[in-house]
């Protein structure tokens, strides 16, 4: 009988083939057929997967991968059981008690922030806990004013659990409420800021989220900055690629994930037309010319059902 390994913290765009490659020191039963992705109650990827392997030695080899990275995410690996896998595959993450799989996403929501709060201030508030690159999403109202809320994605579910212990702690003169959340909820908040009349400044973490533009100045790009417009402008140096032919509903996070197999963007700006609608173009900034050239390997590949053209801008 096959053995079961559980992994959590995967990138949401991870495929069964990428999971098999990640566990390349173990024999996965049936190859990709032995990989079972867990979805949230809304039917979206939760970042958790169960993998069938042939033997206890394969389980040990898989556990040796604990806290290795897939893309930019630390992946946690555990031995599991057939019963646990069947239960999670049947009911998704409802049993976890989180909002849309927040326990697995490593995402928390903060409320009550000072209105001049910055991403760096949020990172300082959670000092000692590892936050994803571009993992802070600041939220704004329809006029572009800070709402006093943000979403933060940590590299592990354990770190997110410890972050909840900061509930009612002070930031400046304000006490901050911290709740479990999910990537789905953060994306919804990001999308609500990206409508035709929405602010041009970004979502919190990415400094611009799908909100294009710079949003709170001086904030470092943060994984929600990837969600919808990393906002905040480009960093000094580096190299930029123009994308053309994007799906009109694409988010910054999806663009970042699309490039993640070859290089990690540091800033993403989705372009909008005069009516405030996505134009199908985006500018993606990389930390170095070398990273940008690696990213050009994606030229003429598909995103969803669209054929994407890339142009190296320098």
In a 10 Å sphere around its CB, with 0-12 CB exposed, 13-18 middle and 19+ buried, how is residue 193 labelled?
A: buried
pLDDT in tens, 62-92: 999 998 988 778 888 999 999 888 887 875 5
Domain membership of residue 139 (yes or no) is yes
pLDDT in tens, 94-125: 434 443 444 567 889 998 888 888 899 999 99
Q: Are residues 176 and 270 in the same domain?
A: yes
Question: What local confidence, expressed as pLDDT, does residue 313 receive?
Answer: 85
Q: Are residues 114 and 156 in the same domain?
A: yes
Q: Of residues 25 and 174, which shows the higher confidence score?
A: 25
How far is Cα 267 from Cα 11, in angstroms, rounded to an integer? Answer: 18
Cβ proximity of 227 and 183 under 8 Å: no
Q: Could you tell me the CA-to-CA distances from 307 to 118, 244, 248 in Å, in that order?
A: 37, 9, 13
Domain membership of residue 295 (yes or no) is yes
CA neighbor of 230 nearest in space, from 201, 259, 257 = 201
- If pLDDT is split at 50, 70 and 90, which confidence band does 151 have? very high
Residue 233 has pLDDT above 70, yes or no: no
Q: Are residues 73 and 168 in the same domain?
A: no
CA neighbor of 132 nearest in space, from 117, 151, 148 = 151
How far is Cα 219 from Cα 135, in angstroms, rounded to an integer? Answer: 12
Cβ proximity of 103 and 40 under 8 Å: no
Looking up tokens 């994984």 gives 223
Residue range(s) defining the domain that contains residue 221: 106-312
Out of 65, 96, 127, a domain closes at 96
Question: What local confidence, expressed as pLDDT, does residue 92 receive?
Answer: 53
How far is Cα 228 from Cα 202, in angstroms, rounded to an integer? Answer: 7
Arithmetic mean of pLDDT, 258-273: 82
Residue 56 has pLDDT above 60, yes or no: yes
Domain membership of residue 31 (yes or no) is yes
Q: Could you tell me the CA-to-CA distances from 224 to 17, 81, 168, 171 in Å, in that order?
A: 26, 34, 24, 21
Cβ proximity of 152 and 186 under 8 Å: no
- If pLDDT is split at 50, 70 and 90, which confidence band does 174 have? confident
Q: Of residues 212 and 241, which shows the higher confidence score?
A: 241
Domain membership of residue 238 (yes or no) is yes
How far is Cα 215 from Cα 160, in angstroms, rounded to an integer? Answer: 25
Question: What local confidence, expressed as pLDDT, does residue 260 receive?
Answer: 85
Q: Are residues 89 and 186 in the same domain?
A: no
Q: Are residues 303 and 172 in the same domain?
A: yes
Mean pLDDT (the chain, rounded): 78
CATH at 305: 3.30.70.330
Q: Are residues 190 and 89 in the same domain?
A: no
Number of folded domains in the chain? 2
Q: What is the pTM of this model?
A: 0.39
Return the beta strands (E) in the chain as ranges. 3-8, 35-39, 45-53, 68-70, 73-79, 107-111, 131-140, 146-154, 169-171, 174-180, 239-244, 267-272, 278-286, 302-303, 306-307, 309-312
Out of 33, 68, 96, a domain closes at 96
Name every residue whose Cβ is closer than 8 Å to that of residue 24 and which is 6 or more positions away in sequence: none
Arithmetic mean of pLDDT, 274-301: 86
Domain membership of residue 101 (yes or no) is no
Structure tokens at 48: 């958790």
In a 10 Å sphere around its CB, with 0-12 CB exposed, 13-18 middle and 19+ buried, how is residue 266 labelled?
A: buried
Q: Are residues 51 and 163 in the same domain?
A: no
Q: Are residues 272 and 161 in the same domain?
A: yes
Out of 58, 73, 96, a domain closes at 96
Domain membership of residue 149 (yes or no) is yes
Residue 209 has pLDDT above 80, yes or no: no
Least confident stretch, 46-55, 204-213, 227-236, 295-304: 204-213
Q: Are residues 117 and 80 in the same domain?
A: no
């Amino acid at each position: 009988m096959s053995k079961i390994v559980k992994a959590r913290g995967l990138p949401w765009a991870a495929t069964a083939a990428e999971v098999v490659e990640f566990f390349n020191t173990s024999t996965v039963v049936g190859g990709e057929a032995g990989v079972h992705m867990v979805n949230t109650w809304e039917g979206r990827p939760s970042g958790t997967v169960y993998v069938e392997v042939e033997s206890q030695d394969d389980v040990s080899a898989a556990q040796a991968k604990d806290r290795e990275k897939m893309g930019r995410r630390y992946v946690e690996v555990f031995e599991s059981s057939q019963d646990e896998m069947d239960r999670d595959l049947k009911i998704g993450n409802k049993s976890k008690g989180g909002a849309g799989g927040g326990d697995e996403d490593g995402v928390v929501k903060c409320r009550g922030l000072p209105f001049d709060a910055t991403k760096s201030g949020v990172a300082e508030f959670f000092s000692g806990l590892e936050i994803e690159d571009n993992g802070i999403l600041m939220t704004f109202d329809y006029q572009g004013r800070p709402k006093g809320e943000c979403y933060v994605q940590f590299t592990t579910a354990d770190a997110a659990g410890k972050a909840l212990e900061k509930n009612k702690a002070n930031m400046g003169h304000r006490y901050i409420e911290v709740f479990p959340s999910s990537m789905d909820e953060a994306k919804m908040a990001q999308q609500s800021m990206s409508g035709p009349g929405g602010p041009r400044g970004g979502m919190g973490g990415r400094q611009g989220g799908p909100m294009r533009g710079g949003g709170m100045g001086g904030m470092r790009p943060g994984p929600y900055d990837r969600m919808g417009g990393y906002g905040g402008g480009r960093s000094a140096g580096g190299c930029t690629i123009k994308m053309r032919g994007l799906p009109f509903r694409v988010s910054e996070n999806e663009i970042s994930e699309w490039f993640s197999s070859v290089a990690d963007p540091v800033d993403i700006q989705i372009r909008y037309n005069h009516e405030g609608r996505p134009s199908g173009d985006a500018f993606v900034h990389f930390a170095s010319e070398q990273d940008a050239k690696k990213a050009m390997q994606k030229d003429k590949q598909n995103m969803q059902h669209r054929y994407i053209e890339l142009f190296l801008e320098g």
